[in-house]
Amino acid sequence: MSNLDFGAWRPLLLHGLWVTFYITVLGAAVALVLAFALGLAGRSRHLLVRGVVRILVEFFRGTSLLVQLFWIYYALPQVTGWYSLSQSGSLAAVAALGLNFGAYGSEIVRGSINAVPKAQFEGATALNFTGLQRMRLVIIPQAIPLMIPPFGNMLIQLLKSSPLVALVAVLDIYYQANQYWEQEDHPAFIFGLLLVVYFVLAYAGTLAIRVLERQAQRRVGREMAPGTLRRLTFRTKGEGATGA
């Protein structure tokens, strides 16, 4: 066992920490966009649209994230000719994390919208809001506070799944820590440090989610006060809505 020589590895570990951070943020951003797209499309009146969405969601929820990552990185370039995926492990990693967690997130979106009281749908319809106006001005603002806690849990799970990207040559902090272990030994030190790093990142994310949740609840409390739907009616007259 060699003597502890951490100083030479500090820049590599800090770079790996940055890679972990941006892979997590980009993967979460892709997952969020897909979650709303699939969640809203899953409520479509068209059976074909709902069927396609259900197949996609169940496929990405029902298959391994690791296999999805390998398929995107190794197989998809050969099938499609998109060799940039095999040249950039980061791109494949973001795509795999976004698709997998976006499928789970779509159920959060769908369930949160379904949890909004039916009277809110009926009230917006009675004021002659279009479907888009109902969602944008009434339903989604009330569903967002319901979405934030499970989305926060999903973000933590995404962060904890990010070490898998090291298997496609993404130089994240797990990859750098593993290199340190192989060359310097000291597994108790380096993997103990890794535990602390992931805990701090996850806890920081949890605190940020709690702040967002409180802000969203306060905003809904203000916007959904008595008389708000009537005020929204006047705001949307130019979009085709009429007052009641």
DSSP letters for 43-92 = T-S-HHHHHHHHHHHHHHHHS-HHHHHHIIIIIHHHHH--THHHH-HHHH
Does 188 reside within a domain?
yes
- Tens of pLDDT, residues 132-166: 888 888 888 889 999 999 999 999 999 999 999 99
| Residue scoring higher pLDDT (126 or 27) | 27
Does residue 207 lie within any of the structural domains?
Answer: yes
Residue 199 within any structural domain of the chain: yes
Q: Render pLDDT for 39-68 as a digit per residue (tens, 0 to 9).
A: 999 888 899 999 999 999 999 999 999 999
Residue 1 maps to a domain: no
Is the confidence at residue 192, as pLDDT, over 90? yes
Within a domain: residue 233? Answer: yes
What is the token pair recorded at 192? 């103990």
Domain assignment of residue 36, given as a range? 7-239
- Domain assignment present for residue 2? The answer is no
Domain presence at residue 68:
yes
Report the CATH number that the domain containing residue 163 is assigned in CATH. Answer: 1.10.3720.10
Is pTM beyond 0.75? Reply is yes
- Got the DSSP string for 135-149? IIIIIHHHHHHHHHH
Q: How many separate domains does the chain show?
A: 1
